[in-house]
Amino acid sequence: MTEAAIKSSFAPVADGGTRLLILGSLPGEMSLRRGQYYGNPLNQFWKLIGAVLAADVEALDYEGRLAALKAAGVGLWDVVRSARRAGSLDGAIRDHQPNALAELASSLPALRAIAFNGGKASVIGRRELGAGDWALLDLPSSSPAHTMRFEAKLAQWRRLQPFLAPDGPQTRSRA
């Protein structure tokens, strides 16, 4: 069995125009090696968010992908700042330290919704965010370990679309 090494998340990708913040748990091994959010080509994140945005972000290089997200008002971060974890599975996360989610969310004036990419992200993120003035949405994980059919995942991810439109929902609710 592999020893549980300490892993750390990346800096947030967000700015004053972020309307939707997508929170994962903690980057997997391949993402950490590449220094990229969702760096494992088997992870469906870029395909899912591309379908939500109606743009082929998957075909872009990493910097282009981040630029496309920012242009669409989408931010990224993880709920875990650091943790012990052997491998990449969320179930192996131990002794985690959370990121300052409430602080980041409060600093984003256009923020309408926060989406959790997977169950572990939701459990930790909801606890750390507490009450806020934004919608909270749980999404099926984009991870290859989450074996739900792509079409079924995408149907749930499409719930993000109203929050991306410049004139989208202004009333924030918990969903």
Q: Residues for the chain: how many in total?
A: 175
Q: Quick one: which H or E segment has residue 69?
A: helix 62-71
Question: Which sequence positions are flagged as catalytic?
Answer: 43
Residue 76, burial from CB neighbour count under 10 angstroms (0-12, 13-18, 19+): buried
What does residue 50 show for φ and ψ, rounded to 5 degrees?
-60, -45
DSSP 124: H
Q: Which of 132, 81, 84 is nearest to 106 (CA)?
A: 132
CA distances from 39 to 52, 57, 58, 175 (A): 19, 13, 11, 28
Separation CA 102–CA 110 (nearest Å): 15
CB-CB contact of 81 with 8 (8 Å): yes
